[in-house]
Structure formats: structure tokens, C-alpha cells
Amino acid sequence: MMKYSKFVPKYALVTVALLAFACSLASAYDPSPLQDFCVAINNPASAVFVNGKFCKDPKLVTANDFFRSGLNIPGNTSNKVGSNVTAVTVEQLPGLNTLGISLARIDFAPYGLNPPHTHPRSTEFLVVIEGTLHVGFVTSNSANGNHLFTKVLNKGDVFVFPIGLVHFQLNVGNTKAVAFAGLSSQNPGVITIANAVFKSNPPINADVLTKAFQVDKNVVNYIQKQL
Ligand SMILES: *[C@@H]1O[C@H](CO)[C@@H](O)[C@H](O)[C@H]1NC(C)=O
Ligand SMILES: *[C@@H]1O[C@H](CO)[C@@H](O)[C@H](O)[C@H]1NC(C)=O
């Protein structure tokens, strides 16, 4: 009896190890989504893509499938926020399909803002090439909830925005600024907070927004009109 009970914890450990292994296998068979959603379809002829994009016949692949030019050209920052993102995702560079990375060039007019947004599928690595940026991100609503981390970045500085967290970059200089971002998805996605909440199509019911933001309906209408 003594001898037997001595072995029980060992079996328990093996069981736990097997379960952990099974769980890791299970995650290997359910890859992360590569777009917002992927609704199943029975007739493959009417499918648009798999989780990601269909793969080109390797015999037909050329160097140009892995190439993109033009990132030396600034985006046009003559808009309300004074910034412009030139993205190089799998849409612009088909060779990125399934590789888990993408890139962006971000141009800022003097005092221009890349407004608060999140990338639902990607961590972002930002490097400043020119100018001075005030950057930051906010943590989720947990124990030390909605904590803001900020930093002022100069030329050559890098900063990381963890996956899914709301972040922003503001040019605090009276000259233009340029940054490049590396992103950990072929299709990081962008959710600009102001647009998602106040400029959805169709609009979110005003009762939802007045209660969520604890403001009058005319404040909600005002913000909606600005966007
Ligand atoms: C960003 O710049 C490109 C190239 O100049 C331009 O076509 C595009 O409209 C600009 N986007 C915004 C949001 O201003
Ligand atoms: C930038 O965009 C503004 C507003 O859309 C436009 O008037 C201007 O001509 C554009 N500049 C360039 C260099 O394309």
C-alpha cells in the first residue's frame, strides 16, 4: 500500500505532462488567425483565401514576389491628423504570405499625430529615422489597469508596442518626422480607436456611446461629425 501510493504522484506527473503535450499539439493544429475572421465555406470554388492567402505555384515564383520599392517616398501628411502610414503587408508584398512579418513607413508633419490605435494581430517595433516622437501605449483593464507607458524618441531610438495594446505617436518637434515599424504579422490589422467607435458603418447606437463615454448625445454627434 505504502509502495503503491508512493508511485501515484509520479503517474499524476506523467498525466500532467501528457496533457501539456496534448495542449501544445492542439495549439499547433489551430493556427492564429491571419485576418479578422475566416468563415467556413463548403464549395472551395467560391472561397477567396485560406487562413492567409493561397500559395502561388513555386515554379512560377520570381524575385519580384519578394520585392517592393518606394519606401524612400514620404506619404502625404496633408490631412487632419498630420501623419501618413505607408504599409508593406502581404497585400503589397505577396512573398510575405505565412512569414509572420510586415513593415510600415510613418511620416509626420510638424506636430502630426498617428492617433491611438491597436494592431489586433501584431507587436510593433518602431525606429525613429528623423525627428522627435512622443510615443506611448496603454495596458489592458487588469490589476494595474490601463497603465500608460510613454517615452520621447529621437533619431535612432527604438520602442516596442506589445500586441493588441492601444498606442500612439505624436511628433513633438516643429520639423517633420519619419519612423519605420516592423510588425509581427503579415496582416497586422489596424483599429483606429476614434474611427472604430465613432465612425463605424453603420454607426453604433448613440445610447451605447453616451453611456460608455458618460457624455450627452450632442457630444457624441459632435465627435461623429469631426470624423
Ligand atoms: C498617404 O500618402 C499617400 C501617398 O502620398 C496618399 O495617396 C494617401 O492618400 C495618404 N493617406 C492619407 C490618409 O492622407
Ligand atoms: C497632398 O494631399 C493634399 C490633400 O489631399 C493635396 O492637396 C496635395 O496636392 C497632396 N500633395 C502631394 C505632393 O501629392
Q: Is 134 annotated as a binding residue?
A: no
129 falls within a domain: yes
pLDDT at position 136 is 98
User: 168-186, pLDDT tens digit by residue?
Assistant: 999 999 999 999 999 999 9
Q: Is 117 annotated as a binding residue?
A: yes
Give the chain's domain count: 2
209 falls within a domain: yes
105 with 75, same domain: the answer is yes
pLDDT at position 77 is 98
The binding-site residues of ligand 2, defined as CB within 6 angstroms of any ligand atom, are 76, 78
Whether the CB of 75 sits within 6 Å of ligand 1 = yes
What phi and psi values does residue 222 have, to the nearest 5 degrees?
-60, -50
CA of 83 to the centre of ligand 1 (A): 9
The CATH number of residue 165's host domain is 2.60.120.10
Least confident of 3-7, 81-85, 128-132, 173-177: 3-7
Whether the CB of 76 sits within 6 Å of ligand 1 = yes
Domain of 130 in residue numbering reads as 8-187
Q: How confident is the model at residue 100 (pLDDT cuts 50, 70, 90)?
A: very high
25 with 136, same domain: the answer is yes
User: HSE-up of 6 (CA within 13 Å, CB side)?
Assistant: 3
Q: Which of 92, 183, 81, 181 has the alpha carbon at shortest distance from 129?
A: 181
CA of 75 to the centre of ligand 1 (A): 6
68 falls within a domain: yes
Fill in the DSSP letter of residue 38: -
120 with 218, same domain: the answer is no
pLDDT at position 3 is 47
221 with 153, same domain: the answer is no
Counting from 1 in the atom list of ligand 1, the atom nearest the Cα of 78 is 14
136 with 27, same domain: the answer is yes
156 with 204, same domain: the answer is no
119 with 137, same domain: the answer is yes
Place of cell 519612423: 179
CA of 164 to the centre of ligand 1 (A): 25
- Rounded (5°) CA angle 158-65-185: 40
